[in-house]
Amino acid sequence: MTEAGRVVHKFGGTSLADPGCFRRVARILAAWPEPRQVVVVSAMGGTTDTLVHAVELAASRDDSYRDVLEGLCVRHSDTIRELLPSEAAGPVIAAIDRDMGDILDVLRAAMLLRGFSRDTMELVTGYGEVWSAQILAALLSTLGVDTEWLDAREVLTVQRNSRDVDVDWAASRERISEWTNRHRTAPTLVITGFIASTEDGVAATLGRNGSDFSASIFAALLDATEIHIWTDVDGVMSANPRLVSEAVTLDTLSYDEAMELAYFGAKVIHPSTMAPAVERALPIYIRNTFKPDLPGTRIHATSSSAFPVKGLATIEDIALLNLEGTGMIGVPGTAHRLFGALRDEGISVVMISQGSSEHSICFAVPNALAERARAAVEQAFFAEQHHGQIQRVDVTTDCSILAVVGEGMAGRPGVAARFFSSLGKAGINLRAIAQGSSERNISVVVNGSDTQRALRAAHAGFYLSEQTLSIGLVGAGNVGGTLLGQLQQQARRLKHEFDLDLRIRGIATSSKMLLSEQPIDLEHWRDQLEESGELPDLAKFAMHVHADHLPHAVLIDCTASDDVARLCGTWLERGIHVITPNKRANTGTIEYYRRLRQANRAEGAHYLYETTVGAALPIIQTLHDLVQTGDEIDQIEGILSGTLSYLFNRLDETHSFSSLVEEARRLGFTEPDPREDLCGTDVARKTVILAREMGIPLELSDVATTSLVPESLRDGSVDDFMAALPAFDAEMEARRREAADRGEVLRFVGSIGRDGAASVALRGYPQSHPFARIQLTDNIVLFRTQRYRDNPLVIQGPGAGREVTAAGVFADLLRLAAYLGAPV
């Protein structure tokens, strides 16, 4: 029978676990564009295990095997009744009942014989596939898909060997063409996986998980063009997703890569089961039954993926043995004796490494075999040890092997460098290294306790952008919340254009915090914080954000809190970058300020705070550039508060001071308590920040600050304050008029001179002065320097507001990314 163009589908037990699963599978098949298809099925999930259990119970004379079988029978007939109309259900249920009768007979014999043969076990355990195939075939027929089912025991012929079976291809081919001649060929053929029979017609199985093998055998027998293995994962992953949350689904793999990964326990089909497909160069797809729209992983002769490395895997519970001594140098036959001794003990060696000095040979075996291996080696080299030619046999247990697999590594320099540098950066100690000359696999031995960290670090080295930033935001109010919105809008573009991967992995407010392994969905962070937020704990928060497996960590402090500011030093010292519009850290003691700057230098952690003065206006950066290029600052003078800027820009004979405070408060330009703006401390803090940036060790208490809050109104409630303020309007109006008479306007200004004299006060400025010509909540800063002597450098513009402040923090984040190497 030649059925060129046919696809073989194989559905595993989890894809056929219940009626819903059968319907899902039927939908996939009914929607398949090519009508002729071969469908190889496993038993309903768990059935084979249950049958094995029943055999064992019977053999141990436990007659509860009957209940076990009864349960299986009920599960199948319930499934059938739910899926099929009664006229279709009847014959299938009857067939299963007959099979159950046979099984009961066989198991009764096992019970009487107090044991079971291989024949018994293989006969009984194969029934699950016979049932699932009939159910699926009947379901497809009722859906109008023209379907036949085939009991593989009628055609697939095998010879048993001591471990499993060999396929008798000639006999199988002959029997399948006989079968085809006897049956009409329906376009869709459902075939039992797992089972076969011997030449004498004895039921056999292909070994546990044998249905994959069935799929590739039938693909060969029926000349199919491709195989789709449907399972419950999206495809072959780059690493175990339970250990590496960043693991990705691989688009393609070569057969050889798939075999390497299968050895490491990746969820790939077993190498031997692929042989018939590999011989015919059939592509094999690993696909998810539950997400049929995904393309899955394509396994073929060659793989064209862009990644040089495909998978990373670990083997745990490994012991490393090291045989060391001068007596081995240049002596032929040492390795022969060593591994011969291990062979005689039946110990299979997992990895071998010998340096070309031949001074030592090191090899890895499973932990459990370590002592036997040591004894065997010591015995083999007894004489040498006795004569001191071999010093010792060291055994280190509880190690792990970490391997990277990928054909693209062959002949490509730099892959190993990347692997080792990611491990080095994560501080992982390598105990042994091996790479075969096929260059398809590099394996290293690490301490068992480092396994997951090593795997994650190496995975990040190959699969993540070098500019992957793990970000935690503390404070999600006006500025923080707006920042998240801006990030949400730009993140995708930044990733695409600059390979800059900004991952918000934590958000903390004063009442809750949200930690997430995967980037937080910035469209729904508020709901998520509400629903799954936990009590805030900033130590835990920082630890989470500072993840080993992501290249860089950043904490953004968008609070106005002293407590958070006090943590910045520790964060920086741990190598976490810090970005903040919070003035508190920079205006603490000068010692703390120095510590922040020092940590920056020592740990390579960047500390960015442009928005602490004038929001996003480039004030800090400009000052920094002036100082670092050797200019000398004579004086900095500025209107540094948007609130106070507004009040004095609007003050005239028609607007009293108190009415303007009232208005500004209504517009949200002031703090809830306007005295916090009027007292001048905010301006004094900004003055301190600028002074320190100039290199002057100023403390907040050194700034001569003249408060605008009348002495008698400093205590008491906000309402009392607002009510009493008009009484002071006359005084303010007098000052204004006095200034106006001199041709001046009043401005609230912070100033710092090169001698360190710092003041914050209300002063008069002539109409021609830049301070007289500003608007609304503008900030303005004048730099008088050696280079800008005749005419000052002026920076002016809106210096407050959530949008611009958030954008300023965002800009600091991009500046950080640029420092880290992003091409932004």
619 binds Mg ion (CB under 5 A): yes
Per partner kind, with CB cut-offs from 5 to 8 A, the member of ligand ASP, Mg ion, none near residue 48 is ligand ASP
CA distances from 47 to 69, 131, 445, 659 (A): 10, 10, 39, 82
Residue 12's binding partner out of Mg ion, ligand ASP, none, with CB under 5 to 8 Å set by partner kind: ligand ASP
Torsional sign, CA 652, 657, 662, 668 = positive
Contacts of 657 (CB under 8 A, 6+ apart): 647, 651, 725, 728, 729, 732, 733
Site size toward ligand ASP (CB under 6 A) is 12
Nearest-CA neighbor of 309 among 268, 350, 267, 257? 257
CB 423 within 8 A of CB 453: no
For residue 52, the minimal CB distance to ligand ASP (Å) is 9
Find the catalytic residue in 10, 310, 583, 686. Answer: 686
Q: How far is the CB of 129 from ligand ASP (least distance, A)?
A: 6
Which CB sits closer to ligand ASP, 134 or 452? 134
The pair of structure tokens assigned to 344 is 């005689």
Distance CA 124, CA 733 (A): 103
13 binds, among ligand ASP, Mg ion, none (CB under 5 to 8 A by kind): ligand ASP
Taking the C-alpha atoms of residue 797 and residue 614, their distance in angstroms, rounded to an integer, is 8
Query: Which member of 235, 481, 569, 614 binds Mg ion (CB under 5 A)?
Result: 614
DSSP 585: G
Within 26-65, the residues that bind ligand ASP by CB under 6 A are 42-43, 48
User: Should residue 289 be labelled a site residue for ligand ASP when binding is judged by CB under 6 A?
Assistant: no
Contacts of 448 (CB under 8 A, 6+ apart): 316, 317, 318, 398, 399, 400
- If contact means CB under 5 to 8 A according to the sort of partner, which of ligand ASP, Mg ion, none does residue 208 touch? ligand ASP
The option from Mg ion, ligand ASP, none interacting with 619 (CB < 5 to 8 A, set by class) reads Mg ion
Q: Does 732 bind Mg ion (CB under 5 A)?
A: no
Nearer to ligand ASP, 220 or 455 (CB): 220
Q: Does 194 bind ligand ASP (CB under 6 A)?
A: yes
Helix/strand/coil (H/E/C) assignment for every residue in 324-379: ECHHHCCCCCHHHHHHHHHHHCCCCCCEEEECCCCCEEEEEEEHHHHHHHHHHHHH
Q: Check residue 134 for interaction with ligand ASP (CB under 6 A).
A: no
Residue type, 346: G
Question: 585-613 in b/e burial notation, b at 16+ Cβ within 10 A?
Answer: bbbbebebbebbeebbeeeebbbbbbbbb
614 binds, among Mg ion, ligand ASP, none (CB under 5 to 8 A by kind): Mg ion
Q: Name the binder of 98 from ligand ASP, Mg ion, none, CB < 5-8 A by kind.
A: none
How far apart are alpha carbons 54 and 72 in whole angstroms?
A: 10
Binding test (CB under 6 A) with ligand ASP, winner from 120, 153, 193, 315 = 193
Q: Does the footprint of Mg ion cover residue 29 (CB under 5 A)? A: no
Torsions phi, psi for 243 (to 5 deg): -100, -30
| 778 makes contact with Mg ion (CB under 5 A) | no
Beta carbon of residue 469, minimum distance to Mg ion (angstroms, whole number) = 21
- When binding is defined by CB under 6 A, the residue of 89, 152, 210, 222 that contacts ligand ASP is 210
Least Cβ distance, residue 105 to ligand ASP (angstroms): 22
- Which residue's beta carbon is nearest to the bound Mg ion? 614
- For residues 189 and 3, give the distance between their C-alpha atoms in angstroms, rounded to a whole number: 11
Interatomic CA distance for residues 709 and 728, integer angstroms:
10
Pick the binder of ligand ASP from 114, 183, 208, 493 (CB under 6 A): 208
To ligand ASP, the closest distance from the beta carbon of 17 in angstroms equals: 12
- Integer Cα distance of 745 and 764 in angstroms: 5
Number of residues that bind Mg ion (CB under 5 A): 5
Query: In this chain, which of 14, 142, 209, 658 binds ligand ASP, going by CB under 6 A?
Result: 209
Q: Which one, 193 or 808, has the nearer CB to ligand ASP?
A: 193
610 counts as binding Mg ion under rule CB under 5 A: yes
Look at residue 617 and give the partner it binds from ligand ASP, Mg ion, none, a contact being a CB closer than 5 to 8 Å depending on partner kind: Mg ion
Q: Is 291 marked active-site?
A: no
Per-residue DSSP letter, 440: S
Tell me: does residue 157 bind ligand ASP (CB under 6 A).
Answer: no
Please count the other Cβ atoms lying within 10 Å of the Cβ belonging to residue 43. Answer: 29
Catalytic residues: 686
Task: Provide the binding-site residues for Mg ion, judged by CB under 5 A.
Answer: 610, 613-614, 617, 619
